[in-house]
């Protein structure tokens, strides 16, 4: 019979996964032709799969640990793909969607494969000693599955912060501010599971904080998509994330320069 904590685990992960899936769809339908919308949508779709797969493994483990580990492996792979995809999206925001080259995509894809292989090998479902199941606290596995992906999300966060401080338009600044808060909550959620391996407290605390952070992150970023930057005589408008973003240019350069970096 499933333990109370594993039941809580399963419900929390699966519900959060479905919320993330809905948000992923909303990101895409906002403007399906835009590359950044596609990237954010894909990132949160991977994220939703990762959450749902992880929730499932805590329920099927009671019937088959082997099958549970398959779902855990799927969780690991999609989680890593999520982090790398969100990083690419942040590169697109800072440098411009047209600067997201196929070379960067190939390099990160190879890295994702490497992390997935070592992550799945060193992360598995096992008995928790209380009649239930847990995933291992193998530090090499945590490094591949949580720490390195967290570094990429943090790097994406840094790019968003840099973008935020280059903007003068208040509405555009507000939009990037929501993206920044969203990335920050995702990072905090990832770090909760690192702290969980270090600090000996009730497992409900870190799980609740992590899930709450991971639900709040996509919601905050979705809100940012619906903030429409305003324009004035000294602003050039370019279509990027959601609808339009702005970048401040000198009035004399507006007819001569092409915007390469969305704000």
Query: CB count, 10 Å around CB of 128?
Result: 14
pLDDT of residue 131: 87
The single-letter DSSP state of residue 125 is E
- Which H or E run contains 130? none
Alpha helix segments (H runs only) across 168-230:
170-196, 203-225
User: What confidence score (pLDDT) does residue 203 get?
Assistant: 77
pLDDT tens for the chain, residues 1 to 263 = 788 888 998 999 999 999 999 999 998 998 898 888 899 999 999 999 999 999 999 899 999 999 999 999 999 999 999 999 999 999 999 988 887 888 999 999 999 999 999 999 999 998 888 888 988 768 888 889 988 998 999 999 999 999 999 888 888 889 899 999 999 998 888 778 777 767 777 778 888 888 999 899 999 998 988 887 654 433 333 334 444 343 333 433 333 333 333 33
Residue among 152, 112, 17 nearest 71 (CA): 17
Residue 125: phi, psi to the nearest 5? -90, 135
CA distances from 19 to 59, 182, 215 (A): 20, 15, 7
Given this model, what pLDDT does residue 229 score? 64
d(CA 30, CA 38): 10
Which tokens in the block code for residue 174?
């507000």
Q: Residue 128 is encoded by which pair of tokens?
A: 């928790």
- Burial class for 63, CB neighbours closer than 10 Å (0-12, 13-18, 19+): exposed
pLDDT digits (tens, 9 = 90+) for 46-88: 999 999 999 999 899 999 999 999 999 999 999 999 999 999 9
Residue linked to tokens 């943090």: 154
**How would CATH label the architecture of 4-229?**
Up-down Bundle (1.20)
CB 262 within 8 A of CB 247: yes
């Amino acid at each position: 019979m499933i333990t109370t904590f594993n039941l809580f685990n399963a419900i929390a992960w699966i519900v959060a996964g479905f919320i993330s899936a809905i948000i992923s769809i909303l990101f895409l339908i906002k403007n399906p032709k835009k590359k950044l919308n596609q990237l954010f949508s894909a990132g949160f779709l991977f994220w939703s799969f990762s959450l749902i797969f992880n929730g499932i493994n805590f329920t099927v483990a009671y019937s088959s640990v082997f099958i549970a580990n398959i779902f855990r492996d799927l969780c690991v792979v999609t989680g890593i793909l999520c982090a790398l995809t969100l990083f690419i999206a942040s590169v697109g925001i800072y440098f411009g969607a047209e600067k997201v080259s196929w070379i960067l995509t190939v390099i990160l894809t190879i890295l994702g494969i490497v992390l997935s292989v070592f992550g799945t090998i060193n992360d598995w479902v096992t008995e928790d000693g209380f009649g239930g199941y847990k995933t291992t606290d193998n530090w090499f596995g945590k490094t591949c599955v949580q720490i390195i992906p967290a570094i990429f999300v943090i790097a994406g966060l840094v790019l968003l912060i840099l973008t935020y401080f280059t903007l003068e338009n208040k509405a555009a600044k507000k939009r990037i501010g929501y993206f920044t808060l969203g990335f920050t909550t995702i990072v905090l959620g990832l770090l909760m599971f690192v702290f969980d391996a270090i600090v000996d407290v009730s497992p409900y605390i870190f799980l609740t904080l992590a899930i709450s952070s991971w639900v709040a992150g996509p919601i905050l970023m979705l809100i940012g998509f619906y903030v429409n930057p305003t324009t004035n005589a000294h602003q050039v408008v370019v279509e990027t994330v959601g609808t339009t973003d702005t970048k401040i240019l000198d009035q004399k350069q507006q007819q001569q320069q092409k915007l390469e970096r969305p704000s």
